[in-house]
Amino acid sequence: MPKGIWIFVEQYNGQIRKVSLELLSQGRKIADQSGEPLIAVIAGEGIRDLAGQAASYGADQVYLMDSPELKQYTTGAYTSALNKLIKDNDPVAFLLGHTALTKDLAPRLAQRLGVGLASDVVDMETDPEKFLVFKRPVYTGSAYSFVGTTTRPVLATIRPKSFVPSEPDTSRQAEVVDAAVSVDPADLKTIIKDIAIAVSSRPALTEADFIVSGGRGMKAPENFKILEELADIVGGAVGASRAAVDSGWIDNKFQVGQTGSMVAPTLYIACGISGAIQHLAGMGSSKFIVAINKDPDANIFNVADYGIVGDLFEVVPLLTQEFKKLVNE
């Protein structure tokens, strides 16, 4: 019989991604409701120290896939190793965060396992027949569908910031299992020679609680400096619309939207962004949305909690001054 709710705990440079902590916390609730154990899977090299953190967020058992072959993510190695681990242990569900890595990994796992995949999930609940039913956005976020799979394991990717991580319980213990890593040589079609890392003091877009984004109204690449100043005051991130990216004003890694990053910060400030449906699909889950635009009929105001009709080059510096006062109080 299948056993356990398994969470793929994604780590990078020895740090667990926040979405994985969110998943562990929500997985703990589902495990308690279903009577299944919660099992974390961590892959990489030199990752033993992460087992305690996974336990503190609810894991009953932690499988460590510690191998030089898994030090850096490659599609073939991770798919091969996880496919065998899952087939050998037959979990009820295998859940992953919806990240750049897992958008590559999860569909390949689904194909190898011969199961369905629910992707970009924003909520889930237990179900007597399908075990889990998932809520996911469709039609660029203008509607939601509820889906379940009859195949096992239940496989799904969960959008970051869909759940609030619990407070870690450092007294909690979990059984740590050193999982045998088996990689089919035929799957090793990629060899990583070098990695160039762009270093930034700002948080990743998908994990930021504060994001200030610029669109076509920014007019020029140098004008993004005023957004950077505002973001840095509160430890936030800078984003952009596709129009700004396509104009060459800012790198595409900053793009928010259906073809960029899907974000859900506590506060999202849209500066000079008209509100194309693709952009709204990427930031519509933000808790509070502030829009700054000279056009009172801009579509962005239809989703904004607060709207400012005005010149962003006058409004943003004023907001920056006010945020500085709040931070210094």
The DSSP code sequence of 176-231 is EEEPPP---GGG-------------SSPPGGG-SEEEEE-GGG-SGGGGHHHHHHH
Instruction: Determine the average pLDDT of the residues in 83-101.
Output: 96
> How many angstroms separate the CA atoms of 175 and 158, rounded?
25
47, two tokens = 């990752």
Nearest to 303 by CA among 321, 285, 324: 285
pLDDT at 2: 54
- Residue 257's nearest CA partner among 238, 233, 240 is 240
Closest CA to 155 of 92, 88, 77, 89: 92
175-178 and 61-66 strand pairing: parallel
Q: pLDDT by residue (tens digit) across 167-183?
A: 999 999 999 999 989 88
The pLDDT score that the predictor gives to residue 183 is 86
Query: Rounded mean pLDDT of 214-223?
Result: 97
**Is the pLDDT assigned to residue 65 strictly greater than 80?**
yes
pLDDT value at 325 more than 60 = yes
Kindly report the number of other CB atoms within 10 A of residue 82's CB atom.
26
**Can you name the residues that pair with 155 across neighbouring β-strands?**
94
User: What's the mean per-residue pLDDT of the chain?
Assistant: 94
Per-residue pLDDT band for 328 (boundaries 50, 70, 90) equals: confident
> Cβ of 171: how many Cβ atoms within 10 Å?
7
Closest CA to 96 of 76, 81, 82: 82
Q: Tokens at residue 150, please?
A: 């009859």
Rounded Cα distance, 52 and 183, in Å: 26
The average pLDDT across 140-166 equals: 92
pLDDT above 90 (res 327): no
| DSSP symbol at 32 | H
pLDDT digits (tens, 9 = 90+) for 2-39: 589 999 999 998 999 999 999 999 999 999 999 999 99
Over residues 113-136, mean pLDDT:
93
The pLDDT, as a whole number, for residue 66 is: 96
pLDDT, tens digit, 9 for 90 and up, residues 242-251: 999 999 999 9
Mean pLDDT of all residues in 219-245? 96
Is the model's pLDDT at 151 over the cut of 90?
yes
By DSSP bridging, strand 15-16 and strand 11-12 are: antiparallel
d(CA 321, CA 261): 28
Residue 154 bridge partners (DSSP): 93
The whole-number average pLDDT for the span 86-95 is 96
pLDDT in the model for residue 1 = 43
CA-based max dimension of the chain: 64
